[in-house]
Structures are given as C-alpha cells and as structure tokens.
C-alpha cells in the first residue's frame, strides 16, 4: 500500500496553501460539483444558460501546478483519486498552539515538513490554551512538547530555588521598623 502511494504521489503535486484535511475535503467537493455540472450540461438542451461552479484559489492552484484541464474527464478522475489518496495515506502531523496561528505561519510550517519530511504532509492545527506559548507536535508515532509549560516543568527545581533565594535575600534587607512612642491621651504636659 505504501509503495503504490509513493508512485501516485509522484504523478501530481500538492500546492503549499493546501495544508489540512479540511482543504482536501473542500477540493473534493468542488471537483464533484464541477463533475455534476458537466454531466448536467451534457444533458441540457442547447441554448439554455448555465453558470459554471465557482472554484477556489486552492483548486485553481492544484490544476495549474499539475497542468490539468477540468473539462477533461480523465483529468478530473485523476485529480479526484489523488485527493482521496492523499486524504487516506499522506503523513499527518497534529500541532496544537495556545492561540490561532496565521495562515502564513501555517504555510511556513507546512513548507518545512514537505521539504524535510514528506512532500504531501498534511497538518492538523489545534488550539490548547493551557500550553501558554510554544506548541505540541504529534504524529502517529511521536510526541514533542515544545511548550513553555513543559520547559517550566523541566526547570521547576531551579525556579523554586531562585524564588527561595530571592525571598531570603529580601528578608535580610528588611530594615527593622522603630516603634513609635506611645502617645499619652488626655494628658497634657507643661514644661
């Protein structure tokens, strides 16, 4: 199964803006809508106007990158099989962030994975506010906690000792407070 996927993945390329399973599912739905439109267009009477379904930039990019023509049934079938194969077989990396990352940042991460790991890597982005900063990266067989929370846990003893030392030095610097003389209430002194 793995070998046949490698052969298929060489036949078509995935554009960088297509980074998630959601993107692949959207491409699949668009491709199916075009297929339905063309089937309906073939059955309609000539002279009736029909509007071609709108395509997204991602579909335009994958068609241009792979030099496909969506009016040709074989190209649509080839693209549909490629998208399905990527959805089912491509390596998936789940990355959790404390807050929503920008699209440009996600594309940089996807570019790195596609250059250094596999050219069809799919990212799944999640939110996990408890990590404070950094990220947590998971694959099917690996887990990397690159969060500040994890770093604090590793250096907890150092942090506790530093706080203790600061408290001790602050207590040593405390100047004793002189007690004020008691005031005699209601007593007048004439001198």
For the whole model, what pTM was predicted?
0.68
What pLDDT was estimated at residue 40? 83
Number of Cα atoms under 13 Å in the Cβ half of residue 90: 30
User: Mind listing the pLDDT tens digit for each residue in 25-73?
Assistant: 999 999 999 988 888 887 776 766 677 778 899 999 999 999 998 888 8
Mean model confidence pLDDT for the chain? 81
Phi-psi region of 29 (alpha: psi -120 to 50; beta: other; left: phi over 0): alpha
CA atoms within 13 A on the CB side of 72: 8
Phi first, then psi: give them for residue 144, nearest 5 degrees: -130, 115
Res 1 pLDDT > 80? no
Structure confidence by residue, pLDDT tens digits, 103-118: 899 999 999 999 999 9
Evaluated on CA atoms 87, 126, 55, 25, the torsion sign reads: positive
Lowest-pLDDT range, 27-31, 119-123, 159-163? 159-163
Q: Which of 155, 157, 158, 133 is nearest to 145 (CA)?
A: 133
Q: How far apart are CA 91 and CA 123, in angstroms?
A: 9
């Amino acid at each position: 199964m793995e070998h046949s996927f490698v052969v298929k993945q060489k036949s078509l390329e995935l554009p960088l803006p297509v980074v998630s399973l959601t993107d692949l599912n959207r491409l699949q739905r668009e491709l199916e809508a075009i297929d339905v439109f063309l089937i309906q267009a073939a059955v309609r009477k000539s002279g009736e106007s029909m509007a071609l379904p709108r395509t997204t930039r991602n579909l335009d990019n994958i068609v241009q990158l792979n030099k496909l023509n969506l009016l040709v049934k074989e190209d649509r079938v080839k693209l549909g099989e490629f998208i399905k194969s990527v959805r089912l077989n491509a390596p998936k990396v789940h990355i959790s962030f404390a807050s929503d990352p920008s699209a440009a940042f996600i594309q940089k991460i996807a570019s790195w994975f596609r250059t250094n790991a596999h050219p069809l890597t799919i990212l799944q982005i999640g939110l996990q506010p408890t990590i404070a900063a950094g990220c947590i990266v998971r694959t099917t067989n690996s887990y990397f906690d690159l969060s500040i929370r994890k770093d604090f846990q590793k250096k907890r003893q150092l942090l506790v000792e530093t706080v203790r030392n600061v408290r001790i030095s602050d207590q040593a610097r405390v100047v004793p407070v002189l007690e004020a003389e008691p005031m005699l209430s209601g007593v007048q002194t004439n001198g």
